[in-house]
Amino acid sequence: MHSFTDLAKSFEDRFSASLPFPDAPGTLYDPCRYFMALGGKRIRPVLCLMANQLFDEISNDAWHAAMGIELLHNYTLIHDDIMDKAPLRRGQPTLHDKYGLTAGILCGDVMCIYAYSELGKITKAMPQVIQLFSKTAIEICEGQQLDMDFERRSNVSIDEYIHMITLKTSVLLACSLKMGAMVSGAFGDNANKLYAFGKNMGIAFQLQDDYLDAFGDTDKLGKQNGGDIKANKKTYLLIKALENADTAQRRSIEELLHGGTDTKVQEMLSLYTQTGADIQCREAVAHYSTLAFNCLDEVAIPSKRKEPLFELADYLLMRDK
Amino acid sequence: MHSFTDLAKSFEDRFSASLPFPDAPGTLYDPCRYFMALGGKRIRPVLCLMANQLFDEISNDAWHAAMGIELLHNYTLIHDDIMDKAPLRRGQPTLHDKYGLTAGILCGDVMCIYAYSELGKITKAMPQVIQLFSKTAIEICEGQQLDMDFERRSNVSIDEYIHMITLKTSVLLACSLKMGAMVSGAFGDNANKLYAFGKNMGIAFQLQDDYLDAFGDTDKLGKQNGGDIKANKKTYLLIKALENADTAQRRSIEELLHGGTDTKVQEMLSLYTQTGADIQCREAVAHYSTLAFNCLDEVAIPSKRKEPLFELADYLLMRDK
């Protein structure tokens, strides 16, 4: 069984050596190459490969599926960056910031189509793969739309928030795993358990991200705390704090949201703690992590073969920290 | 054999009754429904159905292909309107103008994915269909990029222009026809001849559009002449006029491009005539029309069955006018 590190390296080598973009027009494909070279952990394609090797040697179909998944993921990042007006991605200028709006739209578009073009090379279970991939991509668009909608609403509930991050983030992890299974011929319980594992892991990961942005160890994260607080981003912590707050606490939170003093981050963190939102966020991470690991336990494959997936989930969900 | 009018009506009924969009989130799907309801002639899906009925009764696969094609076409229009900063489409506000940039990007995105989702329902020749459709969609993106690039260049050649309009406009007509053939099991010469017919017809149609925008009968067109001239759009006429112009004429054209007096349209039309660009444009329309009709002649199907396609091509290329 190949480890995450091995597979991530193999994928990176293969991916960067065989990007599907031609040279011309350079105004279209140079920005695409720029963006792909920004890197990333390639977690989604590796999940696909890992799920595939549960059942057999990693097949060519799985490589095509993995490529398609990574292209789709990067396409959504490019368009999200436009909508979020984000200047930086992985410490470098975002595609639209460097090359303009037209390139931002068109490069995303063409990358989505290249993703499907990769899936068009799959020899096994293509209809099922296309349907799952399309369903997932639609959900990602819906999740992004909900995220945008929530920015303008003050009454988002925890359930709505979990639904949004499920669509925006988790279903692609789930889909990656299930596609890896499907192209090996696995469609039943095992494929569905892998999907549920990925979905719950994705939710846990996003909630953990919310927590770490506020309370994480800045040395480990390599960035300052409180980015979400400064940006008034609706996170699990903020929604839960508003839900739990008494009248005075609620007024304080709303003043911080509208005002923004030098001590905004400190004061908000203090309110998260006072309202118990911090503890509940950690509990929610633990809850979804447990669901995820239970699903992986239930996949009817010898434990030995599942070790790389457990390791990756441990790493993502920092169970050892 | 069903005529264009019959098929356009059947498609419209079926399409508007079975749009694949769910209700929620309304912020995503209401704009999609708005845009689809703006209408259009539905030429591309009908070409697909017409090609399909050359070989057999129109199949469910052909309907799915036709739906996918129309969704793809509308997706490209939505994104093009953003890039072109267009306020109006079919006399109504463009999607991004009415609902904002985020909706413009995301509705286009999700429509592209729904297009593939339709193709995922095809039972015959799916790999070939996905590959052709993806190749075509990639070419459309490339064509749009070239169109954008050309706006900033003053030395575009006729060959480059033809290449651009081929990618941006013609290949989708060609693909629509070929997909209709493929899902009926036709892959060989007939499918390729239909593709070539659509490609040449598309080029002829676009060149005719350039001509009519300048010299067309305003009553028939329902709009004023000279929109392209006012917008300094690089058309076949402008490129050819610059190519043919003597020094004085070239200076006049460039002054008009940089200046823009009240009589700009009249003066430019006069220069198109003086340089012979108008006649050469009409000749080019005739040239590509002839190529198109020859390709259709060569499709090895009884002429009777090809009548609806000939009629549609006549209508589009105004051979009777």
Interchain proximity B79–A28, CB inside 8 Å: no
Task: Please give the single-letter amino acid code of residue A320.
Answer: D
Is the bond leading into A25 cis (omega within 30 degrees of zero)? Answer: yes
Interface residues on A facing B, Cβ-Cβ cutoff 8 A: 25, 27-28, 79, 82-83, 101-102, 105-106, 108-110, 112-114, 116-117, 119-121, 126-127, 130-131, 134-135, 137-138, 141-142, 144-146, 148-149
Task: Write down the pLDDT at residue A224.
Answer: 67
Find tokens 């990925």 and name the residue: A198
Tell me how far apart the alpha carbons of residues A144 and B253 are, in angstroms, rounded to a whole number: 47
Q: Which of A105, A121, A127 sits opposite B126 (nearest CB)?
A: A127
Tell me how far apart the alpha carbons of residues A318 and B286 are, in angstroms, rounded to a whole number: 69
Which is nearest to A238 in space by CA: A157, A163, A317? A157
Interchain proximity A113–B134, CB inside 8 Å: yes
Task: Write down the pLDDT at residue A1.
Answer: 86
Interchain proximity A113–B138, CB inside 8 Å: yes
CA dihedral of residues B240, B246, B248, B254 (deg, nearest 10): 30
Task: Write down the pLDDT at residue B321.
Answer: 41
Residue B124 confidence (pLDDT) above 90: yes
Residue A321 confidence (pLDDT) above 80: no
- Closest chain A residue to B84, measured at CA: A102
> pLDDT digits over A76-114, tens only?
999 999 999 999 999 999 999 999 999 999 999 999 999
Q: Which of A152-161, B115-124, B256-265 has the lowest mean pLDDT?
A: B256-265
DSSP one-letter string for B56-89: SSPPHHHHHHHHHHHHHHHHHHHHHHHHTT--EE
Chain A partners of B21 at a C-beta cutoff of 8 Å? none
Task: Write down the pLDDT at residue B270.
Answer: 96
Confidence of residue B318 (pLDDT cuts 50, 70, 90): confident
CB atoms under 10 Å from CB of A289, counted, come to 23
Contact A69, A179 (CB under 8 A): yes
Token pair belonging to B143? 């064509």
Report H helices in chain A: 4-17, 26-37, 43-55, 60-83, 95-99, 101-119, 126-151, 158-165, 171-182, 189-215, 218-221, 227-230, 236-244, 247-258, 264-274, 277-298, 303-317
Task: Write down the pLDDT at residue B49.
Answer: 98
CB burial of residue B214 (10 Å; 0-12, 13-18, 19+): buried
Confidence of residue B218 (pLDDT cuts 50, 70, 90): low
Supply the pTM of this predicted model.
0.95
Q: What percent of chain B has pLDDT over 70?
A: 97
Residue A261 confidence (pLDDT) above 90: no
Confidence of residue B29 (pLDDT cuts 50, 70, 90): very high
Find tokens 């900063």 and name the residue: B85
Q: Which of A105, A126, A137 sits opposite B126 (nearest CB)?
A: A126
- Average pLDDT value for chain A: 94
Which is nearest to A25 in space by CA: B147, B152, B235? B147
Region B299-318: what's the mean pLDDT? 94
Interchain proximity B148–A105, CB inside 8 Å: no
Q: Which residues of A225-244 are buried (b: 16+ CB within 10 A; e: fewer)?
A: bbebbeeeebbbbbbbbbeb
Chain A partners of B112 at a C-beta cutoff of 8 Å? 109, 112-113
Question: Cα distance from A136 to chain B (closest Cα, Å)?
Answer: 10
Is the ipTM here above 0.90?
Answer: yes
**Rounded to the nearest 10 degrees, what angle do helices B126-151 and B60-83 cross at?**
20
State how beta strands A88-89 and B88-89 pair: unpaired
Residue B82 confidence (pLDDT) above 50: yes
Contact B292, B197 (CB under 8 A): yes
Task: Write down the pLDDT at residue A221.
Answer: 55
Confidence of residue A320 (pLDDT cuts 50, 70, 90): very low
Residue B297 confidence (pLDDT) above 70: yes
What's the number of CA atoms in the CB half-sphere (13 Å) around residue B55?
A: 22
Residue A45 confidence (pLDDT) above 80: yes
Tell me how far apart the alpha carbons of residues A207 and A288 are, in angstroms, rounded to a whole number: 9
Residue A118 confidence (pLDDT) above 60: yes
Token pair belonging to B156? 């575009």
Task: Write down the pLDDT at residue B223.
Answer: 60
Tally A–B CB contacts below 8 A.
113
Q: Which of A101, A112, A126 sits opposite B112 (nearest CB)?
A: A112
Task: Write down the pLDDT at residue B320.
Answer: 44
Task: Write down the pLDDT at residue A262.
Answer: 84
Residue B221 confidence (pLDDT) above 70: no
Task: Write down the pLDDT at residue B220.
Answer: 61
- Closest chain A residue to B129, measured at CA: A120
Interchain proximity B117–A110, CB inside 8 Å: no
DSSP B169: I
State the DSSP H helix or E strand holding residue B92, giving kind and residue range, or none if neither: strand B92-93
CB atoms under 10 Å from CB of B188, counted, come to 9
Q: What percent of chain B has pLDDT over 90?
A: 89
Residue A239 confidence (pLDDT) above 90: yes
CA B210 to chain centroid = 13
DSSP one-letter string for A166-213: IIIIIHHHHHHHHHHHHTTT--SHHHHHHHHHHHHHHHHHHHHHHHHH
CB atoms under 10 Å from CB of A178, counted, come to 31
Contacts 24+ apart (CB under 8 A), B75-78: B75/B108, B75/B109, B75/B111, B75/B112, B75/B115, B76/B108, B76/B137, B76/B140, B76/B144, B77/B35, B78/B35, B78/B104, B78/B107, B78/B108, B78/B111
**Alpha-carbon distances, residue B50 vs A50, B54, B128, B151 (angstroms):** 45, 7, 19, 36
Task: Write down the pLDDT at residue B222.
Answer: 55
Token pair belonging to A159? 């359930």
- Helices (H), strands (E): how many in chain B? 17, 2
Residue B47 confidence (pLDDT) above 90: yes
> pLDDT digits over A162-217, tens only?
999 999 999 999 999 999 999 999 999 999 999 999 999 999 999 999 999 999 87
Contact A320, A12 (CB under 8 A): no
> pLDDT digits over A277-299, tens only?
999 999 999 999 999 999 999 99
Q: Which of B109, B144, B146 sits opposite A141 (nearest CB)?
A: B109
Tell me how far apart the alpha carbons of residues B97 and B114 are, in angstroms, rounded to a whole number: 23
**Alpha-carbon distances, residue A30 vs A1, A34, A104 (angstroms):** 36, 6, 12
State the DSSP H helix or E strand holding residue A92, giving kind and residue range, or none if neither: strand A92-93
Return the bridge partners of B89, or none: B92
Chain A partners of B28 at a C-beta cutoff of 8 Å? 141-142, 145
Interchain proximity B109–A146, CB inside 8 Å: no
Confidence of residue A49 (pLDDT cuts 50, 70, 90): very high
Contact A84, A148 (CB under 8 A): no
Find tokens 């739906």 and name the residue: B67
Tell me how far apart the alpha carbons of residues B102 and A81 are, in angstroms, rounded to a whole number: 11
> pLDDT digits over B134-171, tens only?
999 999 999 999 999 999 998 999 999 999 999 999 99
Tell me how far apart the alpha carbons of residues B125 and B181 are, in angstroms, rounded to a whole number: 10
DSSP one-letter string for A119-179: HTT--SSHHHHHHHHHHHHHHHHHHHHHHHHHHT-S---HHHHHHHHIIIIIHHHHHHHHH
Return the bridge partners of A93, or none: A88
Question: Cα distance from B74 to chain A (closest Cα, Å)?
Answer: 13
Residue A309 confidence (pLDDT) above 60: yes
Confidence of residue A3 (pLDDT cuts 50, 70, 90): very high
Residue A266 confidence (pLDDT) above 80: yes
CA angle A168, A170, A174 (to 5 degrees): 130
- Closest chain B residue to A140, measured at CA: B110
Phi first, then psi: what are they for B93, rounded to 5°? -55, 140
Interchain proximity A112–B110, CB inside 8 Å: no
Q: Which of B131, B144, B145 sits opposite A120 (nearest CB)?
A: B131
Token pair belonging to A316? 């993502």
> pLDDT digits over A121-145, tens only?
999 999 999 999 999 999 999 999 9
Find tokens 């406009």 and name the residue: B169
